[in-house]
């Protein structure tokens, strides 16, 4: 009986160990980028502004982190967001990046995404939009791509 119990315990331990070792391998660190311009806005505008946002996503923790810059906007930014939406279409705010007094370049941040947000990000359905007083709907925009 003891031998049978020992074999079962060893088999269970082997399975648990295999799962612990293979699960982190399923996690993936994704690097993405958004290049921001007025011509990418919907509708496009003639802004001289530009910028970029580097995005890192950890699929194991669903943590998204970003580092970005902007320059030459028509005025101080009023807000920046990640939005849901494919290229060429506008969508709602998915995640705030900054607003008001926090609107400085360079900027950075991080958040833990919901399952739905993570699916949209990985499906290429997120874009970055930086808003100004002159362009309330967005002065510069860029699709987040792998």
Domains and CATH numbers, the chain: 27-143 (2.60.40.200)
Q: Which residue has the higher pLDDT, 63 or 25?
A: 63
pLDDT at 101 over 60: yes
pLDDT at 125 over 90: yes
Say how far residue 138 (Cα) sits from the centre of its chain. 18
Would you tell me how many other CB atoms lie within 10 Å of the CB of residue 65? 13
| 124-143 mean pLDDT | 97
- Give the number of C-alpha atoms closer than 13 A to the C-alpha of residue 96, restricted to the C-beta side: 7
pTM of the model: 0.81
Please report the pLDDT score of residue 11 as a whole number.
53
């Amino acid at each position: 009986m003891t031998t049978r119990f020992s074999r079962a315990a060893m088999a269970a331990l082997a399975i648990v160990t295999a799962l612990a070792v293979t699960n982190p391998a399923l996690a993936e660190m994704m690097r993405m980028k958004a290049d921001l311009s007025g011509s990418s806005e919907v509708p496009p505008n003639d802004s001289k502004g530009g910028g970029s946002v580097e995005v890192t996503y950890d699929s194991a923790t669903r943590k998204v982190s970003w580092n970005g810059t902007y320059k030459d906007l028509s005025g101080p930014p009023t807000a920046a967001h990640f939005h849901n939406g494919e290229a060429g279409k506008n969508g709602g705010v998915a995640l705030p990046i900054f607003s008001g007094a926090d609107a400085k370049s360079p900027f950075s941040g991080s958040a833990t995404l919901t399952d739905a947000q993570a699916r949209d990000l990985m499906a290429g359905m997120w874009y970055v939009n930086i808003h100004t007083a002159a362009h309330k709907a967005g002065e510069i925009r860029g699709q987040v791509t792998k």
